[in-house]
Amino acid sequence: MSRKAIFPGSFDPFTNGHLDTVQRASKLFDEVIIACMTNIKKHPLFTAEEKQMLIEAAVADLPNVNVVALPHQLTVNFAQSLGAQYMVRGLRSPQDFAYEADVATINSQLAPQVETVFLLADPKYRNLSSSMVKEVASFGADVSQLVPANIAEALHEKFGDHHA
């Protein structure tokens, strides 16, 4: 049976840290499905459909990676409906661990068939977050070292000449 993993996240925007996690996961699993969710509490900049298109272009060189917009549904239920046996999450810090461990525990109760797999963030990306990228981009500063090139361009278009 092929090993299918879902990598869910807000990806608002998708950063080089997310990309590194996807690249590594694509070597561990037969198929990786990136699921973009919209977390209203996190003041979304991009819609799920915009994120899907941007991420598709950013991972175009990874043949076993696909991108979907997460429907309004519990992530583990969606993972099951896709037939994914694994859920990938990245860990940058003890804070990430504390939160992710709670989520993984609930998920394992709801869907014991879906195993959560944590990939430790590369030290280069441990301080990189989507919210930091948004803040830097909102001031019109260069984010080309932090996100894939097409996403830097989309951020530039979103913020335009308006510098917060």
Tell me the C-alpha to C-alpha distance, in Å, between residue 77 and each of 24, 53, 54, 113: 24, 23, 25, 11
State which of residues 21, 26, 107, 116 lies at the interface with ligand ADP (CB under 6 A).
Answer: 21
For residue 13, state whether it binds ligand ADP (rule: CB under 6 A): no
Binders of ligand ADP: how many residues, by CB under 6 A?
17
Residues 42-101 that bind ligand ADP (CB under 6 A): 89-90, 92, 96
Give least dist CB 144 to ligand ADP, A. 16
Give least dist CB 115 to ligand ADP, A. 15
Whether 114 contacts 79, CB under 8 Å? yes
Whether 30 contacts 66, CB under 8 Å? no
Give least dist CB 161 to ligand ADP, A. 27
Length of the chain, in residues: 164
144 catalytically annotated: no
For residue 125, state whether it binds ligand ADP (rule: CB under 6 A): yes
Give least dist CB 81 to ligand ADP, A. 19
For residue 11, state whether it binds ligand ADP (rule: CB under 6 A): yes
**Backbone dihedral angles phi then psi of residue 68, each to the nearest 5 degrees:** -135, 160
Specify the residue, 4 or 92, whose C-beta has the smaller distance to ligand ADP.
Answer: 92
Residues marked active site are found at 18, 42, 92, 130
**Contact residues: ligand ADP, CB under 6 A:** 9-11, 15, 17-18, 21, 39, 89-90, 92, 96, 121, 125, 128-130
